[in-house]
Chain A
Amino acid sequence: MNTLQQLSLGILFCTLGQPAFAIQKRAPSSTDSTEQASDETSSTSRIAWYTSLDEARADAARLNLPILVQSAAPQCRSVPGMW
């Protein structure tokens, strides 16, 4: 899943008013302008992910939020630092 797809999903959640995770608008960084210059909305948005199953489940149950699950390995061809 590329960044654009991830952010699109996040924006959809935001649009629907179901804050399963939060979207942050911020000033474009050099990363944004390089990678996603063609899509201004996506390039300036980020998703606040829960990374722990226990924490996500606990907050989802307490706040009555559906859970969008996306898993990925933080390595690319065994090299860390990239999804």
Chain B
Amino acid sequence: MRPATYEHEVEAEFLKKVFSNRDGSLQNTSFGLFAPDGKKRLSRGGRSPQMVWRDLDSFVRALESGPDKYRARRGQRSLPTVVDLRLGLNVAASDGLPLVVLVVPKGKSKQAKSLKQDLAALAWSDDLTASAHFVVLEDVETLKKMDGYRANYQVQVLKPDTYGLSAEIVGAVKLKDKRCAEKLADLYAKALGEPKDDRRHIRNGNRKGITWEPLLPVTDSHERRR
């Protein structure tokens, strides 16, 4: 899993257990391997993969040590969602991927659960996996303000701007559509991000006065020194 640092209080506490500075402060990045219970450590923590496993061979050995112990069970994976639209746009822009918004009816948890399961099956299908990020929304007011919004469609595919602060809706589909997977693949292709040069991205962002305010204070000493 890849949680966003400084964006969730509970996750931040977990990430501090994965890796933190000597003073206990949360660092910008952390890496570690855990058992399926999410508690038992299978590796030490570090701020980089090399700090944890030294090299790829060591990493492979660490994984090979327990494949029988953790034999995967069959089952449908759940929809991997980002917590809200604000963060979802940023994460999708950072990865250069589409952001898929699943619109669920307000206060109807059974229907929402069913829609999430339907989209999860598509999200983890061979042709579509790892091709987008997902957000689930009940309130569509923000979506309505975006170009391309289509009412009465459960699945809206967004192309975030380069900074992940806004988006254009490139299309929408209904989950009952028999060609839903095919249409999603087409929309994903339209919503892919452009290549980015990190220096140019930062320079242009600074010129435009674009800044990101994380929900929690940045406590990484390396980041603060920049």
Chain A residues with CB under 8 Å of chain B are 1, 5, 8-9, 12-13, 15-19, 21-24, 26, 29-31, 34-35, 46-53, 55-83
Contact = CB atoms under 8 A, between A and B. Distances in A.
B96 A31 contact: yes
B8 A82 contact: no
Contacts, number: 233
Q: Is the interface of B mostly helix, strand, loop or mixed?
A: loop
Given A18-B72, A34-B195, A80-B93, A23 B4 contact: no
B21 interface: no
Contact of A48 (B18, B29, B124, B161): B124
A49 B2 contact: yes
Contacts of B165: 80-81
Interface stretch (B60-68, B140-148, B151-159): B60-68
B173 interface: no
19 contacts: A1-B31, A1-B49, A8-B56, A16-B67, A51-B91, A52-B3, A52-B80, A53-B10, A63-B75, A66-B42, A68-B31, A69-B32, A72-B4, A73-B4, A74-B4, A80-B94, A81-B93, A81-B94, A81-B163
A62 B75 contact: yes
Interface in B11-27: 11, 14-15, 18
Q: Is the interface of A mostly helix, strand, loop or mixed?
A: mixed
B48 A66 contact: no
Most buried by A among B18, B38, B162: B38
B210 A67 contact: no
B36 A61 contact: yes
B94 A66 contact: no
9 interchain residue pairs of minimum CB distance: A79-B205, A56-B1, A24-B130, A48-B130, A80-B212, A49-B2, A50-B1, A46-B130, A81-B163
Given A49-B1, A71-B5, A79 B163 contact: yes
B52 to A, nearest CB: 10
Given A29-B192, A30-B195, A79-B211, A52 B82 contact: yes
Contacts of B73: 62-64
B67 A55 contact: no
